[in-house]
Chain A
Amino acid sequence: GAVVSQHPSRVICKSGTSVKIECRSLDFQATTMFWYRQFPKKSLMLMATSNEGSKATYEQGVEKDKFLINHASLTLSTLTVTSAHPEDSSFYICSATAEADTQYFGPGTRLTVL
Chain B
Amino acid sequence: GQQLNQSPQSMFIQEGEDVSMNCTSSSIFNTWLWYKQDPGEGPVLLIALYKAGELTSNGRLTAQFGITRKDSFLNISASIPSDVGIYFCAGAYSGAGSYQLTFGKGTKLSVIP
List chain A positions with a Cβ less than 8 A from chain B. 2, 4, 6, 32, 34, 42-44, 46, 49, 91, 93, 95, 97, 100-108, 110
Contact = CB atoms under 8 A, between A and B. Distances in A.
Contact of A43 (B40, B88, B92): B88
A93 B42 contact: yes
B42 A105 contact: yes
Contacts of B93: 101
B65 to A, nearest CB: 12
Interface string B10-53: 00000000000000000000110101000011111100101000
Given A102-B45, A107-B41, A32 B31 contact: no
Given A102-B31, A102-B48, A43 B103 contact: yes
Task: Say whether chain B's binding surface is mostly helix, strand, loop, or mixed.
Answer: strand
A42 B101 CA distance: 16
B101 to A, nearest CB: 6
B103 A108 contact: no
B29 to A, nearest CB: 9
Interface of B: 30-31, 33, 35, 40-45, 48, 50, 88, 90, 92-94, 99, 101, 103-106
B31 A110 contact: no
Contact of B40 (A34, A49, A104, A108): A108
A49 B99 CA distance: 10
B7 to A, nearest CB: 14
A2 B45 CA distance: 10
Given A43-B88, A43-B106, A103 B101 contact: yes
A49 to B, nearest CB: 8
B43 A105 contact: yes
